[in-house]
Structure 1
Amino acid sequence: MHAARPPSRPFRLVPRLAALILLLAAAGSSDAAPNADTEREAFKQAYATAQLGGDAWRAQARGLQQYVLYPYLEAAALEHDLQQLDTARVQDYLKRYPGLIPADDLRRAYLGELARRQDWTGFMALYRDGLGDALACDELQARMAQGHRLDFDKDLAALWQKASLPNACEPVLQAAHDGGLLTPTRLWARIDRAVAAGAGGTIASLAAWLPPRDATAAQRLALALRDPATAVKEAMHWPDTPRHREAAALALRRLARRDTNAADAGWLHLQRRFHFSQSQRDDVLATLALFHATDFDEHSLQRLRELPVDAQTDATREWRVRVALARQDWRAVLQAIDALAPDQRQDGEWDYFKARALAALGHTRQADALYAELASEPTYFGFLAADRSNSPYAICPDSIGDDPAIARSLLAEPGMQRAFELYAVGLPRDARREWARALAGSSVATRREAALLANQRGWYDRAVFTFSSGDALRLYDLRFPLARQDHMVEQASQAGIDPAWAYAIARAESAWMSDARSGADARGLMQLLPATGAQVARDYGLPWAGGDSLYDPTTNVQLGTRYLAQMAQRFNGAPWLASAAYNAGPVKVDQWLDQRGTLPPDLFTATIPYKETREYVARVMAFSVIYDWRLTGRAVPLDARMTPIGQAYVPPGPGTVRKPVSCPATATAESPADGATVATPPSPGSS
């Protein structure tokens, strides 16, 4: 067996051109005057035309010269026509709109075009520091074209700290090499950073500039990153030098992630060939033990116990608990929890499982005390503990009043005006950029007031991100918006799933950013892949207008709730298993069920090998409780949502019994693990 590790999928935002579709269904301010609506409609039409280049947009923009977003129109047209522009026209725009975001964007884009033309005189006339690594390298090229001789410390030292650099830097690095600036010491320093970052391509490119013997060692480091199985096999014939030892140890650690048995065999041979340092031996042993644990191998618990103290890590100590939980070896669970580092013990997860272990061993009084303490927290484990102690859920909502003076000041600020208007016309990416710039360095009170103003306009993600710590975690109405205009309740009911669960998925996936887009190309509120959206539309006979239609909240929710229903049907209706499948893919969940399908739901979730999916399931289940409370005033018990594997789950209906929610005097401000989104394994529908 081997433990596959999924790629993470950090969010990236929909490109500006793809935002054209959003203009047709943009959210408007609830208090917008008729003339504002007219301006917005005119802007949307003109902006769509401006993105095609030329001057045709000007006719559609008559009367908009005083509109706060007018500068975005000309900038869009100019960026489309970059190859035909001359510097004077760009300089004219920059002079008229100094410091505006579209002006900064135009400057960057035109500098890139000037570099492509190798018009270095024009480039130097427009260049400013702080425009990114690619343009910084272009600026060095421009200076070299004017006779500048590179100085490593002044020109390259900052760039040299990066594990990888854009292609624009290649001519500069070549010139630095030709000038004798890239000494072996400097090359190895950057190679070491690239090894730490897993940037094998950087290592391979730098290796060519090293002396032959060093070049071979560097190439083998790159091989260890790129193809660890081959590197482990070939390492039997490598010399026992420090760099080759580093490459061999790296290859073993990388191979352990993919194939623990092959890594074991490789370690058996290579530890005899190489004089590994104690640190290298500890790292290899810890990695082998860790990935045997995530495979739940027969001897994995013993391997974790027997790791030398110096080889133990937070991950190996944590997985010692998880393997013991998978075996329901309750004494081993207690021993493993006791072996956690002090800072690890602060996590409520371990208090919960300590209570589970104590209860299983007959120590009821101690277990009940732990459950009661944990039940005062509005978290996944707090809700589980409340179910076991028959306590109400501890949710202590708070509210925040507006400050009219701050609000008036914000609404008079041109940057905030642009932010709100950009959101209103369906350009949320640009709206967020204006928001960030307008609020840079502002007070907490100002940021909170801005979030309240945004929330009133249906721009919900601003409050989700703003109220994310301390006492603000109790602002549940702002942090868990109901967003009824997206028809979540109606669509979830039509799909046959619990609306609270559907809300929780959307909240966990996108934090209500309608234009969210992942590295795997999942899109919109519920993060659907275009292929998944198309398939679901076919399955249900729903209209499909292409991948960009997933940025429309109504379309996304309609298809996302149906896809959730499909996942639920595959797993006996269980929302907790369907959530895992939504995140990691149903095939992967099937594999885990084959291996550990007899475990209770809380133990099964705790033993999911992917950290992202474990936390995702916990987050969604906790959010489901909160949204259920927001919708009904009470909440379906979490243990009713987390039905035993194989048992049919029935979504809550009119007669469903719900738990009361109270605010104990000792309740803390803690909240379910929260954030904008989580990095996750392959997107929904990818398996």
Structure 2
Amino acid sequence: MFSSAAPRRFFCGLLAVAGALLATSPAQAAASIDAQRIAFRQAYAAANQGDPSWRALAAGLHDYPLYPYLPAAALEHDIRLIDRAAVEDYLASYPDLIPATDLRRDFLRELARRKDWAGFTALYQPGLGDALACDALQARLAGGGALDFQRDLAALWAKPDLPGACDPVLAAAHDQGLLTTARLWERIDRAAEAGKAGTVASLASWLPAADRPTALHLAQAWRDPAAAVAAAPNWGTGVRDTRAATLALTRLARRQTTSADAAWQALQARFPFSEAQRNHILATLALFHATDFDDQALARLIALPAAAQTDGTYEWRARVALARQNWPAVIAAIDAMPAALRQDGEWRYFRGRALAAQGDTAGAQAQFRTLADEATFFGFLAADALDQPYAICPLTLADDPAAQASLLALPGLQRAFELFAVDLPKPARREWNRALQGADQATVRVAAALANQRGWYDRAVFAFSSGDALRLYDLRFPLASQDGLVPQAEAAGIDPAWAYGILRAESAWMSDARSGADARGLMQLLPETGALVARRNGMTWGGGDTLYDPATNIALGTRYLAHMAARFDGSPWLASAAYNAGPNRVDQWLAARGTLAPDVFIASIPYKETREYVARVMAFSVIYDWRLNGTVTPLTTRLSTIGQPYAMATANAPRKTIACPSAAASAAATDAP
């Protein structure tokens, strides 16, 4: 059990720790905090395993900022065994801490599982998520209460998808007659718009029998568009069936463009498509013909009605023209774009590229000059075209000791820094976000600089993502020598600046990053890839979780990069594309368009994510080259010709200098994370 005096002891303890540190030498203070961190790690591991020895291990930690995480971990481990009194005692001791919120939420889930609705109601607080909100309604129903739609369900009903805990509540609402046909269609329409086919199908069973087929058509359009368009000639032609046909056609176009074309010819006269629906179908068909680089793609894009054009169709008109190296068509496509899109760096660059290809050197140089003062992928290419230095204008964040001291006195930020120091980055980020919630930009900048000093690099990467903060290159592009990237890259035979660029683009320096595909760590390796690379290189493999260790991740990631580069003649830009989209996909693109110049080939990559990824990595490589060496290998040198061997620049190879042309130009900086 925990005393209600614990919060006072905790915060007084923080002051005592601060006073003690001031009274000791720096070496003594460092030794003391190191000992506390070691003890905490041991106690935390024991508490998470349900080992009661955590109390003895934590005997000297009651004044340590992270102490509240220890009893919370022990309670979480025993969540199915503990009683409400133990939870309430902890909540009373540490009412405002994140572990208390987590414990309340998790114990409420346990009480719902036990169907202890009286206990649940006593502990419940609103704002803990949809599942617990529905559990609270179940508690009311269990107590004999009734549901009121506006009071109890309106907010939940507005969401296209709900957790399973809401199913009994919705069933009760249906039995009470609260789910009218109008309300059912309202939610079905919302769910269909959001692509929640499961919600649509489940709600269809409560519709009147005559309405059910139409709802199921909407679900089928999402789940199996080919089957939907095949069945559509037998559907009704009401508003929602027409919407389902529109959805099925546009989704089929993404997968089987030719089949969607044929289906459109068969269905366009059957359904009363609105002008907006027709335009959407035509634009989608044209767009996916373009990504396939069909012979008729350019003509179809040009022929689209003005109302059917989107940024995507305008851009793909230019991409198809680029892939054909039809330079007049490139200029016509760019000139047809809306003004805002036309000002994008990519299209300013390719307008200059097209002018140069047609012999208009003066026009091309004028176009490149509008871009060359920007520290971006296309800005660097424009500077190369003009044979001028790269415009990198670094900004240094001035020290503010008073602001730093004020932030370091915040208990939440103290916990954030300590959690990071003991290798718990996820809870560290949660404490960080709560401590800085509502803080102004200047405060966040100071906090990010403090984090960077402690090796917590991703805080600055995410904090400095707009405006003049983009020029804080030393914070946005850290050189973490302790992680061994430079020697590992050199041992793998690849350019360290490129390896840094990949790492920065992949994880933004979040060592615990994990993708939906299960790629892990700084360089985002899949466990099976890590195992394969380790085996190929005679390196120790300790399992997927070792990829969260920066040194291990970098050692394996640099070797995998070297393998990708070797597959593509050493080319870092093609290897970057393969790192993102997979080497087999890059092979397919090369087979179709492998004669193009590198900049044009990148523009023709069908996947937006991969196009932008390659541009970002190569721009980051320039920045890191400058940070490592002071001058840089020209970007055009890094963009080796397809099919020709690429070798890293030698010590005597030409390098570019960096200049800051003007204060105005310095506002345009490298891509944000």
**Structure 2 counterpart of 1:94, from 91, 98, 107:** 91
Amino acid aligned to 1:635 = V
- Report the equivalent of 2:122: 125
CA distance in 1, matches of 2:544, 2:335: 50
Amino acid aligned to 2:370 = E
Q: Measure how far apart 1:280 and its partner are.
A: 1.2
**Structure 2 counterpart of 1:247, from 240, 244, 247:** 244
Question: Is the CA contact (8 Å cut-off) linking 1:137 and 1:169 kept in structure 2?
Answer: yes
Q: Measure how far apart 1:362 and its partner are.
A: 1.7
Q: Measure how far apart 1:673 and its partner are.
A: 2.3
- Report the equivalent of 1:670: 668
Q: 1:367 and 2:355 equivalent? A: no
Q: 1:479 and 2:476 equivalent? A: yes
- Report the equivalent of 2:54: 57
- Report the equivalent of 2:315: 318
Question: Is the CA contact (8 Å cut-off) linking 2:392 and 2:666 kept in structure 1?
Answer: no
Q: Measure how far apart 1:30 and its partner are.
A: 11
Question: Is the CA contact (8 Å cut-off) linking 1:601 and 1:644 kept in structure 2?
Answer: yes
Deviations 1:215-263 (A, max 9, x none): 1100011001000011111112212222211111110000000010010
CA distance in 2, matches of 1:668, 1:607: 30
- Report the equivalent of 2:272: 275
- Report the equivalent of 1:544: 541
- Report the equivalent of 1:196: 193
- Report the equivalent of 1:106: 103
**Structure 1 counterpart of 2:504, from 503, 507, 516:** 507
CA distance in 1, matches of 2:650, 2:50: 54
- SS of alignment partner, residue 514 of structure 2: strand
- Report the equivalent of 1:581: 578
- Report the equivalent of 2:22: none
Q: Measure how far apart 1:653 and its partner are.
A: 3.1
Deviations 1:584-625 (A, max 9, x none): 000111111111111000000001110000000000000000
- SS of alignment partner, residue 218 of structure 2: helix
Question: Is the CA contact (8 Å cut-off) linking 2:471 and 2:666 kept in structure 1?
Answer: no
Amino acid aligned to 1:86 = D
Amino acid aligned to 1:438 = A
Q: Measure how far apart 1:204 and its partner are.
A: 0.6
- Report the equivalent of 2:568: 571
- Report the equivalent of 2:380: 383
CA distance in 1, matches of 2:425, 2:587: 38
Question: Is the CA contact (8 Å cut-off) linking 2:369 and 2:382 kept in structure 1?
Answer: yes
Amino acid aligned to 2:668 = E
Q: 1:143 and 2:134 equivalent? A: no
Q: 1:300 and 2:302 equivalent? A: no
Q: 1:643 and 2:640 equivalent? A: yes
CA distance in 1, matches of 2:571, 2:174: 60
Question: In structure 2, do the counterparts of structure 1 residues 597 and 669 end up closer, same or farther at CA, with 3 Å as the change threshold?
Answer: same
Question: Is the CA contact (8 Å cut-off) linking 1:30 and 1:457 kept in structure 2?
Answer: no
Task: Indicate the structure (1 or 2) with the bigger Cα radius of gyration.
Answer: 2
Question: Is the CA contact (8 Å cut-off) linking 2:660 and 2:666 kept in structure 1?
Answer: no
- Report the equivalent of 1:20: none
CA distance in 1, matches of 2:546, 2:604: 37
CA distance in 2, matches of 1:536, 1:404: 46
Structure 1, gaps ≥5 residues long: 1-28, 676-687
- Report the equivalent of 2:614: 617
- SS of alignment partner, residue 210 of structure 2: helix
Q: Measure how far apart 1:54 and its partner are.
A: 4.5
Amino acid aligned to 1:674 = A
Q: 1:463 and 2:460 equivalent? A: yes
- Report the equivalent of 1:498: 495
Amino acid aligned to 2:320 = V
Q: Measure how far apart 1:214 and its partner are.
A: 1.2
CA distance in 2, matches of 1:624, 1:32: 39
**Structure 2 counterpart of 1:602, from 595, 599, 604:** 599
CA RMSD between the two structures: 1.2
Q: Measure how far apart 1:196 and its partner are.
A: 1.6
- SS of alignment partner, residue 666 of structure 2: coil
Deviations 1:25-58 (A, max 9, x none): xxxx999610100000000011111101242211
The 5 Å alignment of 1:514-529 reads 514-529=511-526
Q: Measure how far apart 1:346 and its partner are.
A: 2.2
Q: 1:156 and 2:153 equivalent? A: yes
Q: 1:236 and 2:236 equivalent? A: no
- Report the equivalent of 1:399: 396
Q: Measure how far apart 1:119 and its partner are.
A: 0.6
CA distance in 2, matches of 1:31, 1:57: 25
Question: Is the CA contact (8 Å cut-off) linking 2:249 and 2:264 kept in structure 1?
Answer: yes
- SS of alignment partner, residue 521 of structure 1: coil
- SS of alignment partner, residue 268 of structure 2: helix
Question: Is the CA contact (8 Å cut-off) linking 1:54 and 1:81 kept in structure 2?
Answer: no
- SS of alignment partner, residue 212 of structure 1: coil
CA distance in 2, matches of 1:54, 1:159: 40
Q: 1:352 and 2:344 equivalent? A: no
Q: Measure how far apart 1:652 and its partner are.
A: 2.6
Q: 1:173 and 2:170 equivalent? A: yes
Deviations 1:340-360 (A, max 9, x none): 112212211110000011111
CA distance in 2, matches of 1:212, 1:282: 33
Question: Is the CA contact (8 Å cut-off) linking 2:470 and 2:670 kept in structure 1?
Answer: no
Deviations 1:47-105 (A, max 9, x none): 11110124221111111111110110111111111100100000000000111000110
Amino acid aligned to 1:160 = W
Identity of aligned residues (%): 66
Question: Is the CA contact (8 Å cut-off) linking 2:633 and 2:654 kept in structure 1?
Answer: yes
CA distance in 2, matches of 1:653, 1:119: 72
CA distance in 2, matches of 1:393, 1:382: 8
- Report the equivalent of 2:11: none
Question: Is the CA contact (8 Å cut-off) linking 2:581 and 2:610 kept in structure 1?
Answer: yes
- SS of alignment partner, residue 520 of structure 1: coil
CA distance in 1, matches of 2:293, 2:159: 38
Deviations 1:470-521 (A, max 9, x none): 1111110000001111100000000000000000001001110000000110
- SS of alignment partner, residue 633 of structure 2: coil
TM-score normalised to structure 1 length: 0.93
Question: Aligned pairs, how many?
Answer: 647
- SS of alignment partner, residue 294 of structure 2: coil
- SS of alignment partner, residue 70 of structure 1: coil
**Structure 1 counterpart of 2:587, from 574, 584, 590:** 590
- SS of alignment partner, residue 521 of structure 2: coil
Q: Measure how far apart 1:153 and its partner are.
A: 1.0
Structure 2, gaps ≥5 residues long: 1-25
- SS of alignment partner, residue 272 of structure 2: coil
CA distance in 2, matches of 1:32, 1:66: 15
TM-score normalised to structure 2 length: 0.95
